[in-house]
Amino acid sequence: MASKMLSFIFLAIAFVTVESNSEGDALYGMRSNLGDPNNVLQSWDPTLVNPCTWFHVTCNSENSVTRLDLGNANLTGVLVVRSLELLPNLQYLELFGNHISGQIPSELGNLTKLISLDLYKNQLTGPIPTSLGHLRSLQFLRLNSNKLTGKVPVVLFKMIQLGNLQIMNISDNYLAGTNSKIGLTVYFRKTSCEDTICWCIEIGQVFYDVRPTVSNS
């Protein structure tokens, strides 16, 4: 009996170690596509068993990554997140205030436990991917102050109306149906309209409800 118990303990430890290694590999995969002139990611050592010891990484009690805090880190490069699919418990992805370029990866829609996605104040281009509509737990989506184009996917408005999404800031972009690069705060109040979904635009202390142009995709 004792030998079986020891075997079980060793297997459990091995499982946690393998999971931690895979999550560390996932984070390092993202890092390999980013420039880091200030060495903010210097502690991200792939030879360490547990990425929970790395700066700017938060884990839960089971040593699984739940949060990445890399805001205002002067990072450059493109955002490649295919490897982040190996972070099954990631809830907060904070990459605001950097110099990240390229498009918003559609693979972000696979991070289904995300609560907050903050990519504002970067140099992101292209459309907002409709795959973000898969993020049923998402409460905060801030994409403002980039160079995004195209229409806003209607699925995101449905997330406001029927889901958990509380705030979506898409201001200061080049999106269809919005005023280009004027720096308004665009977010949502679920009760702003009786029969449709509306934007709530704040200019100073005055609120205006306007109907946006959205994509049917």
Q: What is the pLDDT along the chain (217 residues), one digit of tens a residue?
A: 545 444 433 334 433 444 447 899 999 999 999 999 999 999 998 888 789 999 999 999 999 999 999 999 999 999 988 888 889 999 999 999 999 999 999 999 999 999 999 999 999 999 999 999 999 999 999 999 999 999 889 898 888 878 888 888 888 899 875 544 444 445 554 444 444 444 454 433 333 344 444 555 5
Q: What is the domain-level CATH number for residue 94? A: 3.80.10.10
Q: Residue 50 has which token pair?
A: 């547990």
The Cα 148–Cα 175 span in angstroms is 6
Q: Which residue has the tokens 């792939």?
A: 46
Total domain count, the chain = 1
- Give the structural domain span for 163: 2-215
3 state DSSP class of 177: coil
**pTM for the whole structure:** 0.78
C-beta atoms surrounding 96 within 10 Å: 21
Q: How many CB atoms lie within 10 A of CB 126?
A: 13
